[in-house]
């Protein structure tokens, strides 16, 4: 993800979120909401392609920045 922030699907982000113990919700909406244990959230548009800025923000969320 860090090397190539292009061509990611929302299902890829959800799989990575599971590996890093992030919760997420996506129920019939245009965005998927990722929630960290401390309450910080990130809303990512669920349509393809996901823009690289959202991938970078997702990585920051995982890293705890």
Count CB neighbours of 51 within 10 A.
Answer: 13
pLDDT at 65 over 60: no
pTM of the predicted model as reported, rounded to 2 decimal places: 0.89
Radius of gyration of the chain (CA): 11
Model confidence pLDDT, tens digit, residues 12-43 = 999 999 999 999 998 888 999 999 999 999 99
CATH code of 10-63, in short, is 3.30.920
| Angstrom distance (rounded) from CA 65 to CA 62 | 8
* Domain spans, the chain: 10-63
| Angstrom distance (rounded) from CA 62 to CA 44 | 14
């Amino acid at each position: 993800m860090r090397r190539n922030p292009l061509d990611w699907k929302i299902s890829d982000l959800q799989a990575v979120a599971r590996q890093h113990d992030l919760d997420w919700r996506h129920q019939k909406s245009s965005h998927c909401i990722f929630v960290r244990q401390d309450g910080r959230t990130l809303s990512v548009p669920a349509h393809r392609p996901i823009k690289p800025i959202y991938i970078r923000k997702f990585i920051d969320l995982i890293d705890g920045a």
